[in-house]
Amino acid sequence: MTIRSVIGAALLLPLIFPAATTAATAAATGATRPTPDAVAAVVAANLGPTRLPGVAVALVKDGQVLHTGGYGHDARGEPVTDRTPMRIASLTKSFTALAVMQLAEDGALRLDDPVVRHLPEFSLADPRSARITVRQLLNHSSGMSDTTYPEAALPQPDSLRRAVADLRRAALAAAPGRQHTYHNPNYWVAARLVEVVSGLSFADYLTQRVLTPLRMSSTVTVDNWNDPVPGLVDGHNRFLGLTWPRTEPDRFVAGSASLVTTAVDLAAWLALHTRDATGGVLSARGLRELHRPSGPDGRYALGWDNPDPFGGPRQIAHNGSSFTSTAAMVLLPDSGYAIALMSNSRMPLEADVEAIMDGLIALTDGEPGAGGPLPAAFIADLTVLAAAISIAVGGGLKARRARQWARRRTVSWRTALRLVPYLLPVPVLAFLPQVLESVTGGRGVTFVLLSHLWPTFLASAGLIAATGILVVIARVRALRR
């Protein structure tokens, strides 16, 4: 066979076997679109009593909605669908940032204007706050921080006006523009800025300028997580390895974490961010500016993050969590895909939601996605619980043998020192939020948050502290006898 005949056969092959050639090309390039069954399989692998109770998914490519679906059940036992309302928490920030960008494109403000130029009521207990720009609010480089203003532990405001007024007693943790520190009040101020500049309430502005043009008719903006929303049901937490329905505590979230929406509506939101024609909501240039990292950390943009993909495809993403729900969305600009994921639970480590998202991203690259053999949160629950029970059993035995211990001791300072280690878990428990804040980089942690985020850990810490007190009491009584 000559070279010419080989080339001719290769050119004719797509005409003779078009379906096979197309399938081979798609497989080689990872271009095969995920099917609804494949999406359902990834989600199903991560549902169950020891995993997630309910999940909703939206999948979009190049502005076209490929799939929306709901899986599992809500806290009442009703099936989750693609029209089940759920809180999306900090995904709201991308909406607030877009609203501000609209005002910038209208010429009503500029991103690098000082905030006080348009919002004179904004003032902190630090003269440097006059230099905070609109952009610095949106990329969390204003200098405001949970370390200087622990908003989660403070009395909650009842309006954006009140929220901004309360900031007058807040200090700055850094000069504006110097460092990235994620802080929800940045977006309270941004939402209040939208109100003052537009003359509309923040909720009305979003409805008129964003939600209605995108036909997101099921999306609602609230001020507090306890505000009633038709069809909205509180979610779940994990305790003792299993998921349990929990009530969502009250918290002020306007502009920072205030949206309640559905998978159908989130698909429309992702479509806006993945198509060339923006439909008049925002220019393509404005969308690129929202996605472009501008914070001093080199990753955070304006209501969006650019996380390190660790060898995977480039991502523009954001996560969000209430006390009883979790949400995530990701844009994959290299392939044109976008995925949104909502879960009606808040789990330790949030690894369950990440596992589903990783599986869905793998599907867009033509790879199979599946859940792990055991969820990380389930393993973490059992690990801390086993450790606490082991310590409690050991402590019980020591308390029971306190008389034998006391017979070998005398009342002295050396004996007292031997008892101190058993009391150390008590101050650790008392200051556990502060200890965890040092691990989370200063993010506000409260006992209320811990009781929802990881109740098994909190109960285990309490059991260990109680065990130490029991041992000390038993040994001191034995010594006195």
The answer on 26 and 115 residing in a single domain is no
Of 114 and 28, the structure prediction assigns the larger pLDDT to 114
- Reference 182, options 301, 95, 50; nearest CA is 301
Q: Give tens-digit pLDDT for 87-111.
A: 999 999 999 999 999 999 999 999 9
Helices (H), 199-235: 202-206
Instruction: Please give the full DSSP string across 372-433, using - where no structure is assigned.
Output: -SS-HHHHHHHHHHHHHHHHHHHHHHHHHTHHHHHHT--SSHHHHHHHHHHHTHHHHHHTHH
Q: What is the mean pLDDT of residues 47-57?
A: 91
Q: Quick check: is 60 in a domain?
A: yes
Q: Is 451 exposed, middle or buried (0-12, 13-18, 19+ CB in 10 A)?
A: middle
233, amino acid identity? V
Contact (Cβ atoms closer than 8 angstroms) between residue 105 and residue 283: yes
CA angle centred on 204, ends 200 and 207, rounded to 5°: 140
Q: Which of 308, 339, 364 is the endpoint of a domain? A: 364
The answer on 310 and 199 residing in a single domain is yes
Q: What is the mean pLDDT of residues 298-320?
A: 92
Q: Quick check: is 446 in a domain?
A: yes
Q: Quick check: is 370 in a domain?
A: no
The answer on 181 and 41 residing in a single domain is yes
Domain count, the chain: 3
Band of pLDDT at residue 352, cut at 50, 70 and 90: confident
H-run or E-run covering 299: none
Alpha-carbon distance of 139 to 306, in angstroms, equals 12
Alpha-carbon distance of 319 to 326, in angstroms, equals 8
Q: What is the mean pLDDT of residues 464-474?
A: 94
Of 242 and 132, the structure prediction assigns the larger pLDDT to 132
Is the predicted pLDDT of residue 23 greater than 50, yes or no?
no
The answer on 327 and 429 residing in a single domain is no
Residues spanned by the domain of 26: 1-32
Q: Give tens-digit pLDDT for 419-436.
A: 999 999 999 888 888 777
Is the predicted pLDDT of residue 4 greater than 60, yes or no?
no
The answer on 335 and 195 residing in a single domain is yes
Band of pLDDT at residue 127, cut at 50, 70 and 90: very high
Residue burial 332-366, b: 16+ Cβ < 10 Å; e: rest: beebebbbbbbbbbbbbbbbbbbbbbbbbbbbbbb
The answer on 189 and 51 residing in a single domain is yes
Q: What is the mean pLDDT of residues 368-396?
A: 83
Mean pLDDT estimate for the chain: 88
Q: What is the mean pLDDT of residues 76-88?
A: 97
CATH of the domain at 292: 3.40.710.10
Q: Quick check: is 454 in a domain?
A: yes
The answer on 358 and 413 residing in a single domain is no
The answer on 307 and 177 residing in a single domain is yes
Alpha-carbon distance of 128 to 106, in angstroms, equals 28
Is the predicted pLDDT of residue 17 greater than 80, yes or no?
no
Helices (H), 3-144: 3-16, 18-29, 36-44, 92-105, 115-118, 134-138
Q: Quick check: is 444 in a domain?
A: yes
Q: Give tens-digit pLDDT for 141-157.
A: 999 999 999 998 899 99
The answer on 257 and 200 residing in a single domain is yes
Alpha-carbon distance of 33 to 61, in angstroms, equals 9
447, amino acid identity? F
pLDDT more than 70, % of the chain: 90
Q: Quick check: is 188 in a domain?
A: yes
Instruction: Please give the full DSSP string across 4-40, using - where no structure is assigned.
Output: HHHHHHHHHHHHHSHHHHHHHHHHHHT-PPPPHHHHH
H-run or E-run covering 480: helix 455-480
Residue 391 in tokens: 């310590």
Residue 368 has what pLDDT? 79
Residue 452 has what pLDDT? 83
pTM: 0.86
The lowest-confidence range among 47-61, 243-257, 360-374 is 360-374
Q: Quick check: is 371 in a domain?
A: no
Contact (Cβ atoms closer than 8 angstroms) between residue 419 and residue 475: yes
Residue 446 has what pLDDT? 82
The answer on 392 and 255 residing in a single domain is no
Q: Quick check: is 459 in a domain?
A: yes
SS3 130: helix
Residue 112 in tokens: 């690098």
Residue 21 has what pLDDT? 36
The answer on 267 and 226 residing in a single domain is yes
Residue 27 has what pLDDT? 40
Q: Which of 329, 364, 399 is the endpoint of a domain? A: 364
Q: What is the mean pLDDT of residues 439-450?
A: 71
Band of pLDDT at residue 453, cut at 50, 70 and 90: confident
DSSP code of 348?
G
Is the predicted pLDDT of residue 336 greater than 70, yes or no?
yes
Band of pLDDT at residue 158, cut at 50, 70 and 90: very high
The answer on 344 and 207 residing in a single domain is yes
H-run or E-run covering 317: strand 316-321
Q: Which of 364, 399, 424 is the endpoint of a domain? A: 364
Is the predicted pLDDT of residue 3 greater than 80, yes or no?
no
